[in-house]
Structure 1
Amino acid sequence: MYSKELTKGTLQPIILKLLHDKGKMYGYEITQTVKDITRGKIDISEGALYPILHKLEAEGILETEKMYIGKRVRKYYQVTSSGIKAAQQVTDELNNFISTLSIIFKEKEVAK
């Protein structure tokens, strides 16, 4: 598993990308999907997830829908139409950042 310090700045882009690609999801489903996709290397805690979801909702990037499952209420999050552009921008920015990091961390070729 990656350290919280390493993943902290990527949680919002991860959440946005996942919701953009998968449609509406509830909190626990988001955490488990990320964990499954990354084979346990990225584990988003509820304490990290919900402040990001609430912030994105307040900014109009996400919207919520409550669904009743038996006696429980499940809150689903999905990207708004204006949030689609934000999701694409953050994805592009992160991909560019990863490319830049690969330049820095690329192993030097051994001189022959």
Structure 2
Amino acid sequence: MKNSQLYKGSLTTIIMKLLEEKGRMYGYEITQKVKLITGGELNITEGALYPALHRLEADGHLDVEVEKVDNRLRKYYKLTESGKAETVNRLTELEGFINNMQTLVGGTQLKPEY
């Protein structure tokens, strides 16, 4: 389930949750944290991560800080106040979705009605 469509629909929420917990992170750090937390089950590619970060920034949910690290510029992302509020909304919505899915498929075999 390395790059399942189920995860792709939750990428923005995953990013926001990590930033909520950590305060600020740079792109590669986000990918590695997700890989670590999921035991390698979820690998976020740069092609998926950076467009999501740019959308969040354009929507006013992220601030970007640029710092020089080892003679290279590194972009750090952190949630704005609206980003913090949006994170709470998304996590609440995700929790409801998970609960509904567990109700629908958890422990009960759905049988077609004829």
Same fold (TM over 0.5): yes
In structure 1, what is the equivalent of residue 27 of structure 2? 27
Report whether the alignment pairs 1:42 with 2:42.
yes
C-alpha distance in structure 2 between counterparts of 1:81 and 1:47, whole Å: 27
Give the TM-score taking structure 2 as reference length: 0.90
Give the TM-score taking structure 1 as reference length: 0.92
CA contact (8 A) 2:3 2:43 kept: no
Letter in 1 for 2:77: Y
C-alpha distance in structure 2 between counterparts of 1:41 and 1:76, whole Å: 25
Report whether the alignment pairs 1:65 with 2:60.
no
Deviation at 1:83, TM superposition (A): 1.1
Matches within 5 A, 1:87-102: 87-102=87-102
C-alpha distance in structure 2 between counterparts of 1:5 and 1:54, whole Å: 20
Letter in 2 for 1:75: K
Matches within 5 A, 1:76-91: 76-91=76-91
Structure 1 stretches of 4+ with a deviation exceeding 4 A read: none
Deviation at 1:6, TM superposition (A): 2.2
Letter in 1 for 2:98: I
In structure 1, what is the equivalent of residue 112 of structure 2? none
Task: Note the aligned Cα RMSD (angstroms).
Answer: 1.2
Letter in 2 for 1:8: K
* Structure 1, unaligned runs of 5 or more: none
